[in-house]
Structure 1
């Protein structure tokens, strides 16, 4: 299995920059910077920001940040899949996951949207046959708190420290998927980590 498109999910605009819902943007930006991708460019027709990566051992990749709001993320993904002739099986989506603690990351190849509006829109527009890298943002502190308020809020200072310290691991998760394929990558990314297992993945 080869992958040609990496999509990070988030909302456009500076007011959303460091919210929990935008961690997918941050991971793909960090991946682009590490791999030496071309500068990000706004493609208005495709409704996204695009950075192309070529000449890498990971192959030619289209890196994407949709410029629609989260619940219409699939519009951009669908347009770019059509433009570059990329099937759903060759797409990786990186997004925030409330069912994982901050600092955790999981790879999955199937599953429902789990209440994530961005993922739901992509599934409805290109089919669910894409890889998902789920980045933990932790659950709501209060059950009665509206989900939108939580995901659109910013990380606490402690959680932000964890996200920043774990960013390399998030980026390495993409690299493992691209270089090893889904089964081997899943074995490494999804295994339980010991508290002192800081150098793994």
Structure 2
């Protein structure tokens, strides 16, 4: 079983914010895929099943506690593969990178997942850019111009995810990485 996690924060005030790009990605997938919603309070999030071996999770623990939700689902379903889609301030908007393992790079959602599940998982890193006031910046909404740039990036990431599910992170990285 493979668990795909899109990181973000719950609540109207966080919709379309830079930190919610993982949620935005999963929302795109959920509109297009014929999924079954799984309800279990232990999972602390929205969980969907696609086909026989793919789970899609939007943790509802807020970003800094994402690992609680991820580990609950991962352990319950004995998931052998974890893929996390998240924002990355060290990458310009328009940049997409792929990585397995390594540092959380200051991302509190990843730090939480690392503490519960280890850091040995695949990542789709979507660049959002950076500002001096990091906390305010990641919690601010994308502008309309940025959203117009982001939508094709999310569609590109969808293709990359489905290729990744069938392939290897290094192969996918060389084929699907984008530079702003």
Q: Counterparts of 1:32-181 in structure 2 under 5 Å?
A: 32-38=30-36, 40-54=37-51, 60-87=53-80, 90-140=81-131, 143=132, 145=133, 147-181=134-168
Unaligned runs of 5+ in 1: 194-201
Task: Describe the SS at the equivalent of 1:128.
Answer: coil
SS in 2 for 1:94: strand
| Shift in Å, 1:42 | 4.8
1:196 is matched with which residue?
none
CA distance in 2, matches of 1:43, 1:16: 24
> Distance in 2 between the 1:36 and 1:105 partners?
26
Question: What TM-score results when the alignment is normalised by the length of structure 2?
Answer: 0.93
Structure 1 CA distance, aligned partners of 2:23 and 2:178? 24
Q: Which has the larger radius of gyration?
A: 1
Task: Measure how far apart 1:16 and its partner are.
Answer: 0.5
**Whole-angstrom CA distance in 1 between matches of 2:30 and 2:171:** 23
Q: Give the total of aligned pairs.
A: 180
Q: Deviations over 1:33-88 (max 9, x none)?
A: 333222x455321101001001xxxx62010000111000000011111100114x
Q: Is the 2:96–2:178 Cα contact (8 Å) retained in structure 1?
A: no
TM-score, length basis structure 1: 0.84
**RMSD across aligned positions (CA):** 1.7
Stretches of structure 2 that go unaligned for 5 or more consecutive residues are none
